[in-house]
Structure 1
Amino acid sequence: MQICALLNKDGGTLKTIDVEEFARDIEQKFRAHDHEIEVSIIAGDQLIDTLAQLAENNECDVVLAGGGDGTISAAAQYCWQNTKTLGVIPAGTMNLFARSLGIPLNLDDAIDALADASKKQVDIATANDELFLHQLSVGLHPKIVKMRDQEQHQSRFQKIYGSIRAALTTFSRPPRYQIDVKIDGESAREHLSLIAVSNNKYGRGHMPYADFPQQGELGIYTARPLSTQANLKLASDLILGTWDANPDLKERTAQKVTVSFPDGKKHPEVTIDGELVEDQKRFEIQIHPKALSVLAPPPPQPFNLFG
């Protein structure tokens, strides 16, 4: 494979390591697997221009992206539009798409796995024709992100700690929205404090992300306004992966979903793949089965006691 690696030195955990040494390690490991690779270390404000330049490189068929959620989403959008393969280096805060693909979260282990990975087709979703890999979220989660991002965080752990503090504040004063939801052609107005539309249903037994995004359907998760105690229980269940046993979280599936806000004065708090979205009050969301090529390691082999 001909691989173009882009490392956003301003994004995710790459801000906290020796990026040049990491780049050399990537080159060594991929070349040991007979891949041709060129690694570029870029600043965050160079990302879009660098991706645009790759469109002129017909020999590059894999874009290996390292950085936070914004870096991965931008690289995925580019790969989808230009029929290239995406490789995900898990250098973000939660790395939910990397988890879905079975990529180890340790950077060294991730590079080992990616160097030996194969190409697979996975689902993506779009909101108003913009790609997302994980989910569009309204209410509780965006409010937490907005409060967290008002502070500066120098490390992944500081960012997680900031998220916890923001969550505790949000759960005590949860947002409330009248939301028009249209699911596969059926419309309803719902009073909610949370709605998330995900690229495939959440897997069970872990935090919310798809086990492997190849089921060809959106997951829709909603919760009405709850007390602080009930919100804390819901948050705990989401983190622990026991959310499917929580009666306050409703799960549905669909191919197409429209989410809109009838209140003309109240501006909704929305995130797409963890990034805040402003000045939009209507989202047309749909699934695109197996539309994106990715590098994914083989699934772990089950342990056989008898060999």
Structure 2
Amino acid sequence: MSQASIQQQNDHRKKLISIIMNKGSGHRTPEAEPIHELLVNYFTKHGFDVQLHLAEQPHDLTRMTQKAVAQHQQRSGVIVAAGGDGTLNTVAQILLHGSIPMGIIPLGTFNYVARALDIPLAPLDAAHVIVQGIQSAIHVGCVNQYIYLNNASIGLYPRMIEQREQDNSRFGRFRAVAMLSGFAVLMREHQKLKLKLSVDGQIEPIESPLVFFGNNQLQLQDFKLELAECAAQGKLAAVAITEVTRFQMLTLIARLQLGTFEQAPEVTAFCAEQIRIDSKARQMKVAIDGEIIQVKTPLHFSVAQDALLVIIPEHKAQLKK
């Protein structure tokens, strides 16, 4: 047998790690080494056969993940999503209900998914979790054919994201820019949506500028919402607000800080198994994990419980038992 054949056979015995990363992330280490090179070297040193998939454009992520899944059909290993929560969502959409676990290297602005799972934000520390961690199944929110790991919303929130992306392109991708941009949108006049909600079969007509669904318990806790417990139980956690003035909006923002948001008369909270939203519009803009998607109505919201395998720290797995 030739040396090349022996090497190929040895590589095939190794566990396969496929890294899915948006090239536009542009993250570098303090030593100016590109993150993807750092990760490839780290996993290689730990005995893995590493395949790197660098997407030139965000829409390439789906195709690359599908290619990686095909490679993993004959070999055990992990598909690693390296990027922000939007990248994680794209990879998770392909891995949903499958047997291939997803590893997470958080490279975004807020990194709610990683933080909720106690995955370190430093790339090499997160890589260590992928090498030494435990597989665990997590809940995933669903709206029609799409999933959300953090949240999905209609109305104001999609507008906030659109404005945030415009401001990010001007001022840079910083938390302060995102927060100030969102605040500016909230202070404008808003058109209310005329909707019909079916909450576990009970019809509730509503006029609202914002309906928000949260799946990430940590994010809901950051918003000081009691609905965090609802999400932890694998149910739909949602809030809707009525049409409000600028002063009422300021009051609601203050209530968020005080932890009394859900008690405001302008707020309706839902904890349900299924929610359907009907609208006269044939499709609606839905913000899904920070990305804007046009989704045909009616919108069907649900939770797929224990639907996605992820690699989490061993101590986090012990807490879940």
- Using the size of structure 1 for normalisation, the TM-score is 0.82
Question: Paired residue for 2:148?
Answer: 132
* 1:98 partner SS: helix
Distance of 2:160 and 2:219 partners within structure 1 = 23
Residue 245 (structure 2) aligns with: 227
Relative to structure 1, the CA distance from residue 229 to residue 111 in structure 2 (aligned partners, 3 Å threshold; closer, same or farther) is farther
In the other structure, the counterpart of 1:215 is 233
- The match for 1:254 is 272
Is the 1:119–1:294 Cα contact (8 Å) retained in structure 2? yes
1:69 Cα offset (Å): 3.3
The alpha-carbon distance between structure 1 residues 175 and 61, as it changes in their structure 2 partners (threshold 3 A), is farther
The 8 Å contact of residues 21 and 61 in structure 2, kept in 1 or not, is answered as: no
Asked if structure 1 preserves the Cα contact closer than 8 Å seen for 2:18 and 2:52, the reply is yes
Matching of residue 74 in structure 1 with residue 90 in structure 2: yes
Structure in which a larger fraction of residues adopt helix: 2
Q: Which residue of 1 aligns with 2:16?
A: 2
CA shift, 1:289, in A, is 0.8
Contact 1:4 1:64 in 2 (8 A): yes
Change (3 A) 1:253 1:279: closer
Q: CA deviation at 1:86?
A: 1.3
- Aligned mate of 2:314, from 295, 298, 303: 298
The equivalent of 2:177 in structure 1 is 161
Match of 1:30 among 37, 43, 54: 43
Deviation at 1:124, TM superposition (A): 1.0
Match of residue 8 from structure 2? none
- In structure 2, do the counterparts of structure 1 residues 154 and 161 end up closer, same or farther at CA, with 3 Å as the change threshold? closer
**How many angstroms does 1:140 deviate by?**
1.9
CA offsets per residue over residues 162-203 of structure 1, 9 Å max, x none? 552343233231331111111111111012122112226566
Q: Could you tell me how far apart the structure 1 residues matched to 2:63 and 2:268 are? A: 41
SS in 1 for 2:222: coil
* CA positional deviation for 1:105: 2.6
> What is the rounded CA distance, in whole Å, between the counterparts of 1:300 and 1:243 in structure 2?
29
Evaluate the alpha carbon distance shift between residue 282 and residue 121 of structure 1 in structure 2; reply closer, same or farther with a 3 A threshold.
same
Q: Match for residue 104 of structure 1?
A: 120
> Whole-Å Cα distance in 2 between the matches of residues 300 and 34 of structure 1?
25
Partner of 2:68: 54
- Counterpart pick for 2:210 among 194, 201, 208: 194
How much has 1:5 moved relative to structure 2? 1.0
Moved more, 38-47 or 85-94: 38-47
Structure 1 segments (4+ residues) deviating >6 Å:
none
Between the two proteins, the alignment pairs up a number of residues equal to 295
Q: Say yes or no: does 1:93 pair with 2:109.
A: yes
State the alpha-carbon separation in 1 of the partners of residues 258 and 222 from structure 2: 4
Quickly say closer, same or farther: Cα 1:145–1:202, change in 2 above 3 A. same
Q: Tell me which of 119, 124, 138 is aligned to 2:135.
A: 119
Other-structure match for 1:305: none
Cα distance in 1 for residues equivalent to 2:230 and 2:241: 24
Q: Does the Cα contact within 8 Å between 1:202 and 1:208 map onto a contact in 2?
A: no
**Match for residue 304 of structure 1?**
none
2:296 aligned counterpart, secondary structure:
coil
| Unaligned ranges ≥5, structure 1 | 302-307
RMSD (Å) for aligned C-alpha atoms: 3.2
Stretch of structure 1 that moved more, 167-176 or 281-290: 167-176
| One-letter code aligned to 1:47 | L
Summarize deviations over 1:248-279 as a string: whole Å, max 9, x none.
Answer: 433221111111223x49x7442112211225
Unaligned runs of 5+ in 2: 1-14
